[in-house]
Structure 1
């Protein structure tokens, strides 16, 4: 067996390892969170956030698993170009739909934690619409056989789907725009986290690790970081900067994919769970105020409640159930009252 064939088989083995880890992680996380999904999604009134969750959860699972399996030896049966083309298109469009929904959730959360600032929402939506237009333009070009050719690679007793060959211009533009949007979103969330952390410290004169962990969950800090990391690694892959093969490349792909596809649905579930705990188990039409969405009926003002997750204020605000619309002085006083109990 020639050294080239041995090298190709070694690369395929690492691809299989990476694919297996991603598929198992996404599937296992789905099993872990399904019971909470039933409680906080399926048994609650249908809202626009419910729709976003279902897209993120199920289209995201399809996207993550399909992209992981592409190029591996796990595809059953004799692999032909037609099969690879179908898998490639399925993963590409599922990824585009998933990322569109995931970006919208991140924008809505930033809109909510910044007291429903229309200026911030307007700027983010302009960036979002431009990104979506470029994303689907790139997906449309990649769907045209004149621009992209899907191939198969042949090894001894193994046939795998090859890397599509075609233009990368629109993909590069799409990743650059997404990188800018993700950086802005991540920066806004970090600024919010730092500001709240400083307020808590000033109110109690000591550091509160549990409260900071609560803020990380509430603001979805890890989710925003994972999204930014995903686009950075993807962009480096498009530019050809990532290692060509072996464990290093697969490790980076695992790090990029698993957090994004697992944290995105958890983000919505966690916020709804925090809302239920904060309102002492009462459900109402304000359950999605965590994403800045108005309730259909006025929601009573709930004072901050100390829970196992910390203290989170879902205040009324103009009779629409806005998230945290109390002023900063009241917020600090509430923190002092609860944390000193």
Structure 2
């Protein structure tokens, strides 16, 4: 069968049109890919910077655990167990779990499925809630001890603390039950990005919970500073400068630094929720702010929190080993009653 010249030219023209159409399709796909790359690059850059901050904060938590593990064994594991012991161990190892989960969640080179991402979000939210509640109880016990076991201080603070944590827990449980957020994994430019979508209801509850928490923490800081000032005035009247300076050092190391850090991190959280300057989440200023916020929050919850308990235990152990100083120092009533074993080298 032979083709006429007209049929041959027609087939050649159709073949040329198909090649041109294919070229246009390829060109369109290339342009679309470039446009998507340009539009998603700020997102990728933000997630990458945020993941660096998460890794740095998580490494800090692990490093502090290694540094203080010997103290933990001596002052926690080898002593008689008490409620403070349970609180310390819970916060310490919830913090390590939170650090590991955060790296799985936010490091873009770690692949996760949509289901795993959803589970990690729920796990991290509940660890955050429980750890904050436990740290609040530790602060409450410290204030109760500093005020000489006064129920007038204990009951109002306990009611405020329980009410605030119940609100936060109910809000998160409601959000999860109503599926008011979604979590999925995207692969963009070779990186694994976990994306979360929250509606206004969840964001509103989150803002209210920050206000509750910050209010309680400001009150706790005020009470801690107030009782410290009263004790310093009392010690100055009846004691020497040596005990006064020693007492001030103990107080700063064990209490006021932690209480102030809690308030500082809460203020950063309020700024993250309400500041209009942070609306553009891809700007350099917003990235630095949120990166510092997450690192400070890790340090406050999972480094300074456990160190508060260790510092109080260490101070009490030194008092038992130095009976001369103990007479002047015990008036501050910083320590819950615990048993510190004494060992002889003989």
TM-score interval, normalised by the smaller of the two chains: 0.7 to 0.9
What SS class does the counterpart of residue 305 from structure 1 fall into? helix
Structure in which a larger fraction of residues adopt helix: 2
Q: How many residues align?
A: 292
2:72 aligned partner: 37
CA spacing shift, 1:37–1:67, aligned 2, 3 Å: same
What SS class does the counterpart of residue 149 from structure 1 fall into? strand
CA spacing shift, 1:37–1:58, aligned 2, 3 Å: same
CA spacing shift, 1:265–1:321, aligned 2, 3 Å: closer
What SS class does the counterpart of residue 87 from structure 2 fall into? helix
What SS class does the counterpart of residue 119 from structure 2 fall into? helix
Match 2:59 to one of 1, 24, 47: 24
Whether the aligned pair in 2 keeps the contact of 1:275 and 1:314 (CA below 8 Å) is no
Whether the aligned pair in 1 keeps the contact of 2:258 and 2:300 (CA below 8 Å) is yes
Q: 1:214-253 residue pairs with structure 2 within 5 A?
A: 214-218=250-254, 220-239=255-274, 241=276, 243=278, 244-245=281-282, 246-253=287-294
Is residue 137 from structure 1 mapped to residue 151 from structure 2 by the alignment?
Answer: no
Q: Deviations over 1:2-58 (max 9, x none)?
A: 543332232122112201110110000000011110001111111111111111111
Instruction: Kindly state the Cα deviation for residue 210 of structure 1 after the two structures are TM-superposed.
Output: 4.9
Whether the aligned pair in 2 keeps the contact of 1:107 and 1:124 (CA below 8 Å) is yes
Greater Rg by CA: 2
Q: In structure 1, what is the Cα distance between the partners aligned to 2:168 and 2:73?
A: 32
1:337 aligned partner: none
2:249 aligned partner: 213
Whether the aligned pair in 2 keeps the contact of 1:230 and 1:260 (CA below 8 Å) is no
Is residue 150 from structure 1 mapped to residue 217 from structure 2 by the alignment?
Answer: no
Is residue 268 from structure 1 mapped to residue 313 from structure 2 by the alignment?
Answer: no
Q: In structure 2, what is the Cα distance between the partners aligned to 1:39 and 1:5?
A: 51
CA spacing shift, 1:248–1:238, aligned 2, 3 Å: closer
CA spacing shift, 1:321–1:149, aligned 2, 3 Å: closer
Uncovered stretches (5+) of structure 1, i.e. residues with no partner: 282-301, 323-341
Uncovered stretches (5+) of structure 2, i.e. residues with no partner: 1-33, 339-346
1:193 aligned partner: 228
Is residue 305 from structure 1 mapped to residue 326 from structure 2 by the alignment?
Answer: yes
Match 1:117 to one of 150, 155, 161: 150
